[in-house]
Amino acid sequence: MRTVVPLALSALVVLAGRPPGTRAAAAEALEAWMLGPFARHAAPVLAPREDAVFRCPVRNADVRWEAKDVFNAAAVVREGKVHLLYRAEDDVGRSAGTSRIGLASSADGVAFERRPEPVLFPDDDFMMPYEWEGGCEDPRVVESEDGTYVMTYTAFDGTTARLAVATSRDLVHWTKHGLAFGKAAGGRFRDLWSKSGAIVAALGASGRIVAARIEGKYWMYWGESDIFAATSENLVDWTPVEREDVLVKRLTHLGGGRYRVETPGTRTSFKVVVSTRRGRFDSALVEPGPPPLVTSRGILFLHNASNDRLNGDGTLPDGAYAGGQVLLDPADPTVVLARATAPFFRPESAPETTGQTPNAAFLEGLVFFQGRWLLYYGMADSRIGVAEHRP
């Protein structure tokens, strides 16, 4: 039996591709299945700070763990507050700063208080070969039915990015479970470059975003080129969705009226769910954003996209990161029902256009809190911003 919990709110609309400050002009582009419009808060909600010091257990030295950049935050509503689990970088090391994950909390979703030390970080543990010295990057968090928080994050060793999983009961103390694809196919995907795992969820009571089973399985979208899918029985061990590609027969002429037919057979590849598109804002790559939400219309999926200006959207800078939306079929979560042709969220303000990665508005956290949607995003990979939508 398929478990589909419809989103509690039915007013889901968006301003797709709106120029800065022209909400009325873009009203014609509204699509009933999309979420928005979102109005930005002018200032970042979190920025780097140099006074936070952490004793790194691997270096055995004090580091200013969020001195260089803070960005790409997951968002959770818990006990009447919004909590951000965010990526922070120090200013030492080979990888342009080791990444750790910090925790900040807010009573209004805008003014945050940070814990002095990170809550998830490279340690002298079984994950160190995968996390050092690049670090722990880009968390996304959902709840399970029993109230356990499940985090997907990128373990980066400085060479290869691998999707990993951790769990917590309180958002502070996290247990690492290893690589998301570590057990699948006998370990065949252990060294696969994999990032950005967004687990399909549904909006529950009091703003809880809870992982949703579909036909008895959990689903996740992942990838940093095209977007792929994976399934799980327990939210910890994941198996990528594959497909068999039939290879084309090859005819070789041998002369004298003779020829040889070669039938290579089939090969297995990952099933592409969302691909790049020539001439669009998502021409260079697509990558998951916040956890997708099961709604009465389908699975609503906010994603990130990068632009190749020569082959993409001429109104966006080359390499710009903007936000798109896709609606997927709950009967088969690999099937796209609808897709925005223009970005609903693009880099506009100075904090979004200048920084570690210029022209980047990278979506990663989404919550419903105090009657409005709050969308948290990385600003040029250097700060964290928030935009809100009131239904």
| pLDDT of the chain, 391 residues: tens digit per residue | 333 333 433 333 332 333 334 333 333 354 889 999 999 998 999 999 999 999 999 999 999 999 999 999 999 999 999 999 999 999 998 877 999 999 999 999 999 999 999 999 999 999 999 999 999 999 999 999 999 999 999 999 999 999 999 999 999 999 999 999 999 989 999 999 999 999 999 998 778 999 999 999 999 999 999 999 999 999 999 999 998 665 555 666 666 666 666 666 555 689 999 999 999 999 999 999 999 999 999 999 999 999 998 999 999 999 999 999 999 999 999 999 999 999 999 999 999 999 999 999 999 999 999 999 999 999 999 999 999 999 9
Q: How far is CA 352 from the centre of its chain?
A: 18
Whether 155 is in a domain gets the answer yes
Domain that holds residue 179: 27-238+273-389
Question: How many of the other CB atoms lie within 10 Å of CB of 350?
Answer: 10
Helix (H) or strand (E) holding 183: none
Round to whole Å and give the CA distance between 37 and 20: 12
Whether 255 is in a domain gets the answer no
Task: Report the CATH number that the domain containing residue 122 is assigned in CATH.
Answer: 2.115.10.20
Whether 17 is in a domain gets the answer no
Round to whole Å and give the CA distance between 282 and 226: 10
Residue 307 is encoded by which pair of tokens?
A: 């632009």
Residue 201 is encoded by which pair of tokens?
A: 């969820």
Q: How much is the pTM?
A: 0.89
The answer to whether the CB of 65 falls within 8 A of the CB of 85 is no
Whether 171 is in a domain gets the answer yes
For residue 130, give the 3-state DSSP assignment.
Answer: helix
Whether 6 is in a domain gets the answer no
Whether 13 is in a domain gets the answer no
| Neighbour-count burial for 7-21, b at 16+ CB within 10 Å, e otherwise | beeeebbbbbbbeee
Whether 85 is in a domain gets the answer yes
Residue 106 is encoded by which pair of tokens?
A: 């807010």
Q: Which amino acid is present at 302?
A: L
Count of structural domains, the chain: 1
Q: How far is CA 48 from CA 86, 87, 307, 366, in A?
A: 11, 11, 27, 21
Which residues are bridge partners to 383 per DSSP? 379
Residue 371 is encoded by which pair of tokens?
A: 């009657």
Whether 8 is in a domain gets the answer no
| Neighbour-count burial for 320-331, b at 16+ CB within 10 Å, e otherwise | bbbbbbbbbebe
The answer to whether the CB of 291 falls within 8 A of the CB of 142 is yes
Round to whole Å and give the CA distance between 266 and 247: 5
